[in-house]
């Protein structure tokens, strides 16, 4: 069944278009208020999860692309406040982004009611979903009670992508050359992310492939909600460096090109745009 040794993975996040220039980041992670669970109304179209299990580095990377490349507003929500949100609170947004981190820790720090609410918001009411690494793993079917996953695709799950060239350190951070449907390539960061061949069923279309041909980014409708899942980090700044024993070789790919590709993915997730695919 699902890979038990599933690693801590980075989840990518996604944004929604708001007319006009960026004003500020709207933080909604203020609940409970005076002992009562209260969730403010959405002030933007994008809800970025920043709760326990996500990494500050990937959150910051996504925020940078959302504000600098796309000039979108977004709200943030932590684990406790996400637990306080109803389905109606969630579908007040257009896009939910779950960034990188440890998918097991993310699931362990929100309730099963919350993962069920996310599934309902996406599949029934059309909330868009962007998951990067951990966020992609989090949509999986748990196959039991070990993980509090969303089961967004009704029984489908994903395995870890293995790259033996990235050394043996516990946290593998290196680069992967992705093949794109137009025949071009782009080099991006990868850190213990999934390969997105669907296990337990078929779903979606492949937007980008790892060097061995396995899917690195996939897209499709989960019920009524447009969903984009990625196992890599084009949003990552070069300052992330590489893990011990790993090699970061971006070739001719520039930082600006990676950020632009990340912006394309986020915008597509937000707007339900079907990207060119295999």
* pLDDT value, residue 8: 34
Q: Which residue has the tokens 């967004």?
A: 152
* Separation between Cα atoms, residue 145 and residue 207, nearest integer Å: 31
* pLDDT value, residue 244: 72
* pLDDT value, residue 12: 31
- Tell whether 10 is covered by a domain: no
* pLDDT value, residue 246: 78
116-140 as b/e: b if 16+ CB within 10 A: ebbbbbbbeebbbbbbbbbbbbbbb
| CATH code, domain carrying 202 | 3.40.50.880
* pLDDT value, residue 41: 55
Q: Torsion angle of alpha carbons 71, 76, 82, 84, nearest 10°?
A: -110
Nearest residue to 27 via CA among 95, 90, 75: 75
Nearest residue to 121 via CA among 98, 137, 144: 98
Q: Which residue has the tokens 């996406």?
A: 122
The stretches in the chain having pLDDT less than 50 are: 1-30, 32-40
C-alpha distances out from residue 26 to 40, 63, 65, 77, 106, Å: 10, 12, 16, 9, 22
Domain that residue 58 falls in: 26-160+192-238+263-271
- Tell whether 252 is covered by a domain: no
* pLDDT value, residue 130: 98
- Tell whether 7 is covered by a domain: no
- Tell whether 4 is covered by a domain: no
DSSP 8-state class, residue 239: G
pTM (2 d.p.):
0.87
How many domains is the chain partitioned into structurally?
A: 1
Sort 144 into a burial class: Cβ within 10 Å, 0-12 / 13-18 / 19+: exposed
- Tell whether 165 is covered by a domain: no
- Tell whether 183 is covered by a domain: no
* Separation between Cα atoms, residue 152 and residue 204, nearest integer Å: 13
Contact criterion met (CB below 8 Å) for 265 and 234: yes
Q: Which residue has the tokens 């060119």?
A: 276
- Tell whether 17 is covered by a domain: no
* pLDDT value, residue 171: 62
- Tell whether 38 is covered by a domain: yes
């Amino acid at each position: 069944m699902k890979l038990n040794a599933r690693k801590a993975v980075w989840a990518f996040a996604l944004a929604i278009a708001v007319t006009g220039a960026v004003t500020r980041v709207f933080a909604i992670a203020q609940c409970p208020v005076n002992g009562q669970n209260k969730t403010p109304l959405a002030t933007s179209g994008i809800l970025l999860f920043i709760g326990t299990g996500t990494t500050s580095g990937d959150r910051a990377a996504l925020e940078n692309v959302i504000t600098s490349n796309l000039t979108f507003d977004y709200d943030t929500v932590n684990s406790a406040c996400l637990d306080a949100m109803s389905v109606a609170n969630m579908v007040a947004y257009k896009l939910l982004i779950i960034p990188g981190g440890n998918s097991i820790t993310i699931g362990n720090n929100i309730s099963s009611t919350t993962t069920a609410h996310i599934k309902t918001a996406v599949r029934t009411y059309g909330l868009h979903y962007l998951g990067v690494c951990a966020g992609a793993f989090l949509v999986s079917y748990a196959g039991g009670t070990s993980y509090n996953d969303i089961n967004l695709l009704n029984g489908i799950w994903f395995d870890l992508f293995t790259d033996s060239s990235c050394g043996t350190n516990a946290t593998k951070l290196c680069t992967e050359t992705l093949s794109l449907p137009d025949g071009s390539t782009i080099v991006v960061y990868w850190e213990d992310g999934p390969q997105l061949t669907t296990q337990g069923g078929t779903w979606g279309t492949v937007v980008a492939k790892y060097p061995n041909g396995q899917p690195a980014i996939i897209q499709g409708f989960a019920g009524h909600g447009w969903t984009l899942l990625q196992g890599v980090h084009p949003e990552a700044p070069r300052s992330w460096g590489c893990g011990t024993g790993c090699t970061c070789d971006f070739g001719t790919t520039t930082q600006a090109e990676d950020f632009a590709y990340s912006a394309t993915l986020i915008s597509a997730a937000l707007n339900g745009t079907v990207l060119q695919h295999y």
